Homo-oligomer: A and B are copies of this chain.
Amino acid sequence: MAMQDRAIRTRRKILSAAAEVFESRGYRSATISEVLNAAGVTKGALYFHFQSKEDLAQGVLSAQDQVISLPERPSKVQELVDVVMLHAHRLQTDPMVRAGVRLAMDQTSHGLDRRTPFLKWSTLASQLLEQARAQGELLPHVVPEETADVLTGAFAGVQSMSHAMSDYDDLMQRSCALLRHILPSVVTPSLITALDLSETRGARVFAEVQASLDEVAGVTVA
């Protein structure tokens, strides 16, 4: 058990180092030796977990893709908003998430399957929109898969523009503006006014998720 814990920690350490190296050097230029140096682990330990640079990159991609389970909301569109805003918040604050997104957007990393993160986000959005449709939240003409694809693609670009323009300082404003532009074509007018699309939504959802994780872990906030 202790052994397994150590293996998990080592794997995590290697992935963090890889995230750092990919971010500063770019995927193509990065080497496994650089990751080894940054991680401070043995070659054997690294190759126990990852066979190649492609493997490391896939590891970083999946680490940032991990779907954090969010509190359910009566409105499934609000849940979708929460997924987007929580992701924006994590992009601003978590280096692993940043590195994963950059890898996914790096059009020169031809060795990787860059479709995976797009597909994951789009599938998640599509499922939430299907549920929203079932409970009457969507306008009649909406095709959930199409809207999910538009949201996924559009958000990918908005985060990239925010990265270029302000190193993510304005990501919350840009994300909210995107949602305010797209959702009125998707949801019923009565729902749109009830949604929380504010810029602080991501941080608040993150705090809520952390609090419920702490509760599960039995940590009491005295």
- Confirm or deny: A32 has a beta carbon within 8 angstroms of a beta carbon on chain B: no
- Confirm or deny: A40 has a beta carbon within 8 angstroms of a beta carbon on chain B: no
**A105-B105, A106-B108 given; A178·B161 CB < 8 A:** no
Q: 8 Å CB contacts to B: which residues of A186-220?
A: 186
Quote the shortest CB–CB distance from A80 to chain B (angstroms): 14
Identify which of A52-60, A65-73, A145-153 touches chain B: A145-153
Residue in chain B with minimal CB distance to A157: B157
Interface size band for A: 35 or more
- Confirm or deny: A33 has a beta carbon within 8 angstroms of a beta carbon on chain B: no
Q: Secondary structure of the A side of the interface?
A: helix
Q: 8 Å CB contacts to B: which residues of A148-174?
A: 149-150, 152-165, 174
Residue numbers in B under 8 Å from A181 (CB-CB): 147, 150, 154, 181-182, 185-186
Residue in chain B with minimal CB distance to A121: B161
Query: Contact: A107 with B182, CB < 8 Å?
Result: no
Residue in chain B with minimal CB distance to A186: B181
- CA distance in complex: A179, B220 (Å): 49
Residue in chain B with minimal CB distance to A101: B107
Query: Contact: B105 with A160, CB < 8 Å?
Result: yes
Quote the shortest CB–CB distance from A4 to chain B (angstroms): 35
Residue numbers in B under 8 Å from A164 (CB-CB): 114-115, 118
| A contact residues vs B (CB 8 Å cutoff) | 25-29, 102, 105-109, 114-115, 118, 146-147, 149-150, 152-165, 174, 177-178, 180-182, 184-186
22 contacts between A and B (CB under 8 A): A28-B28, A102-B108, A105-B107, A106-B106, A106-B108, A107-B160, A114-B164, A115-B164, A150-B178, A153-B157, A153-B158, A153-B161, A153-B162, A154-B178, A157-B158, A157-B159, A160-B160, A181-B182, A181-B186, A182-B182, A184-B184, A184-B185
